[in-house]
């Protein structure tokens, strides 16, 4: 049984209790980001429900095209390879069409949009030079082909990789392939699985702030400018399109699939209560355990709070690996550049849309893959270096937020 589903009444009851507590203490505390706001709360609850349904829907959608599993898996791989080859050939044509040094005072085609013949295409008498105009026409055509094919390769490749990894790392499948002894389902095995899951969660959570395709999924959880128990339920729906460290690898160590599922449930249940402003501190326990104070830092868009405190149950991972930060300054919640929308589609897809825009406008594979796999901060800096990309303004300007 999924502990998070069983706990839904407790989630709603906790939200109700927190709301009453905030109202009772409002005269002393004043308006805070912890207060409930109807549109924000409904958006969070809707995303939470969507996160429960999405895996079921995506499994059905992706099953036919999963490499090694679905009947169209090979076709998806062929599409990826074909689109990548096409984009590469088109890139070469663009470079060759733009080969040689430009005329004096003429900006190279790679540094601007080409909408028509420039001064460099004309002879001293004002006529368009046929050879140069033809090369520019070829460059425009090849650039469009490279953009479309490159984007297609990135999309199909992402789907192929994510679905293939997911299908090959199912806990039951890995359990049947294990070489380690069965650790059973006793208390020690459950505790061990919880600790191991927590360690893997730390790294996946950290990578979700450091790799843009993971951030595109995780940004949903950080998109609220409020911070209360409803924020804990604002969960992503696009996990099936990402690749991370599969906690199911614990099966290879001898942890039973049902024990791994229990560890997952415990981990998620713990994270619920730390999304609150009603608890200031848990005292000395904060040296070991994650707390509302630690997690408020994680959700802060303050410069000093960016990409800190990634732990779930334990904060010791952050202390060991240099990402711990104490709550000192007041926290500003949300993204470094907020989307200002309660539209569920925009909440779920705005960063994916930005990635595809950047990939489409890229001119090399280094950039196409960089905009997908490197950090949000790198993507922002790279975009600012390229005039053709600088017109896109919705990207987060830091390597993650809050």
Q: C-alpha distances in angstroms, 264 versus 65, 72, 98, 271, 333?
A: 28, 32, 54, 11, 26
Residue ranges in the chain whose pLDDT is less than 50 = 100-115, 120, 390-402
Residue 231 buriedness (CB in 10 A; 0-12 / 13-18 / 19+): buried
Report residue 239: phi and psi, to 5°.
-60, -25
Q: First CA to last CA across the chain, in angstroms?
A: 32
In sequence order, which residues have a C-beta less than 8 Å from that of residue 336 and are 6 or more positions away?
Answer: 301, 306, 396, 397, 398, 401
DSSP lists the bridge partners of residue 314 as 289
Q: C-alpha distances in angstroms, 253 versus 176, 184, 191, 260?
A: 12, 11, 14, 11
Residue 126: per-residue pLDDT = 52
Residue 389: per-residue pLDDT = 52
Residue 13: per-residue pLDDT = 97
Measured CA to CA, the distance from residue 208 to residue 247 in angstroms comes to 15
Find out whether 312 and 271 touch, Cβ atoms under 8 Å: yes
Measured CA to CA, the distance from residue 357 to residue 380 in angstroms comes to 13
Residue 179: per-residue pLDDT = 93
Spell out the SS3 assignment of 217-244.
Answer: HHHHHHCCCCCCHHHHCCCCCCHHHCCC
Measured CA to CA, the distance from residue 218 to residue 211 in angstroms comes to 10
Find out whether 286 and 22 touch, Cβ atoms under 8 Å: no
Query: Coil, strand, or helix at residue 128?
Result: strand
- Would you mind telling me the total number of residues written for the chain in this entry? 402
Token digits of residue 191: 């505790």
In sequence order, which residues have a C-beta less than 8 Å from that of residue 163 and are 6 or more positions away?
Answer: 62, 65, 66, 67, 69, 240
Model's pTM, two decimal places? 0.88
Q: pLDDT tens digits for 344-371?
A: 999 999 999 999 999 999 999 999 999 9
Q: pLDDT tens digits for 177-219?
A: 999 999 999 999 999 999 999 999 999 999 999 999 999 999 9
Measured CA to CA, the distance from residue 220 to residue 238 in angstroms comes to 10
């Amino acid at each position: 049984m999924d502990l998070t589903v069983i706990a839904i009444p407790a989630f709603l009851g906790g939200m109700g209790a927190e709301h009453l507590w905030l109202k009772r203490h409002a005269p002393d505390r004043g308006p805070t980001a912890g207060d409930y706001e109807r549109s924000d709360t409904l958006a969070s609850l809707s995303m939470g429900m969507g996160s429960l349904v999405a895996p079921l829907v995506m499994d059905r959608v992706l099953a036919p095209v999963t490499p090694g599993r679905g009947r169209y898996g090979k076709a998806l791989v062929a599409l990826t390879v074909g689109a990548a080859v096409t984009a590469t050939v088109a890139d070469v044509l663009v470079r060759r069409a733009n080969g040689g040094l430009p005329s004096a005072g003429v900006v190279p085609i790679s540094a601007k949009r080409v909408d028509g013949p420039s001064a460099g295409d004309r002879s001293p008498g004002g006529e368009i030079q046929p050879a140069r105009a033809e090369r520019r026409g070829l460059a425009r055509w090849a650039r469009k082909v490279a953009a479309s094919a490159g984007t297609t390769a990135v999309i199909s490749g992402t789907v192929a990789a994510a679905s293939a990894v997911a299908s090959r790392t199912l806990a039951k499948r890995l359990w049947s392939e294990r070489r380690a002894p069965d650790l059973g389902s006793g208390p020690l095995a459950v505790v061990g699985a919880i600790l191991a899951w927590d360690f893997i969660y730390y790294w996946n959570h950290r990578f979700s702030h450091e790799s843009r395709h993971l951030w595109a999924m995780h940004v949903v959880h950080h998109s609220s400018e409020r911070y209360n128990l409803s924020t804990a339920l604002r969960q992503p729906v696009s996990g099936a399109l990402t690749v991370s460290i599969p906690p199911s690898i614990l099966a290879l160590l001898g942890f039973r699939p049902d024990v791994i599922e229990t560890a997952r449930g415990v981990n998620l249940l713990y994270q619920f209560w730390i999304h609150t402003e009603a608890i200031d501190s848990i005292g000395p326990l904060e040296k070991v355990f994650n707390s509302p104070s630690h997690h408020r830092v994680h959700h802060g868009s303050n410069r000093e709070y960016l990409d800190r405190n990634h732990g779930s149950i334990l904060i010791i991972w952050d202390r060991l690996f240099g990402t711990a930060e104490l709550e000192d300054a007041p926290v500003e919640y949300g993204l470094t550049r907020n989307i200002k929308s309660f539209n569920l589609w925009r909440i779920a897809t705005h960063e994916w849309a930005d990635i595809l825009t950047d990939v489409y406008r890229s001119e090399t594979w280094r950039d196409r893959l960089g905009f997908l796999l490197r950090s949000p901060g790198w993507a922002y800096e790279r975009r600012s270096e390229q005039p053709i990309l600088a017109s896109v303004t919705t990207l987060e300007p830091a390597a993650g937020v809050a």
